[in-house]
Structure 1
Amino acid sequence: MDWKEPYLDYYNKEARSATLILNFNFEDSSNLTDIFQYTFSHVAYALVHVPEGTMVSVLFDVRGQNTESVNFKQFETQLKERLMRLQGKVRVDVLLKN
């Protein structure tokens, strides 16, 4: 399936940086598996379509949510590990806007 160009909220060719802004309900822990899979798929697809070495930042907008029970560091670690197994060396950061 060809989804054409990936959706990026921001892309700077000179700086080799791309930003994805995602907004999910993290308060319901039953959503975490789906959120992870969607994020992984979106980032993996973006990495295929941007120049090698591009830094992809994923910004989760969690304003107004109680996210104390979510281990975002573990989420980021698992995301990076899975992306590396799929695509080798990647540059990905996970950020929170709260």
Structure 2
Amino acid sequence: MYLIDIEIKGKPADVQVEKHRTWFKNHFEAGDFVIVGPSKTKPLAGIIIAKSMPQEHLNQIISEDEFYPDGAIYNINEFQAKLVNNQAIQKEG
């Protein structure tokens, strides 16, 4: 699995934000992204948990984002989930 921390650089245009939202919604619906949400501590930032896949495939997905490559910083950390508490994962309104 991957933890992707995205920080948008500068002030994005509304059309860019809408394209970014469409990008992550499409990959969420396709099952590539498991959890998606905005950061509560950093402005213009968000977190994505992506399913396990070859790094090349994830790189291709990220390259489709409106802000790639120069409009955002993408910090990618691959990890192996050993323990998951499903009760702790609740959709916030």
TM above 0.5, yes or no, is no
Q: Which has the higher strand share?
A: 2
Q: Which has the higher contact order (CA 8 A, sep 6+)?
A: 2
Q: Which has the higher helix share?
A: 1
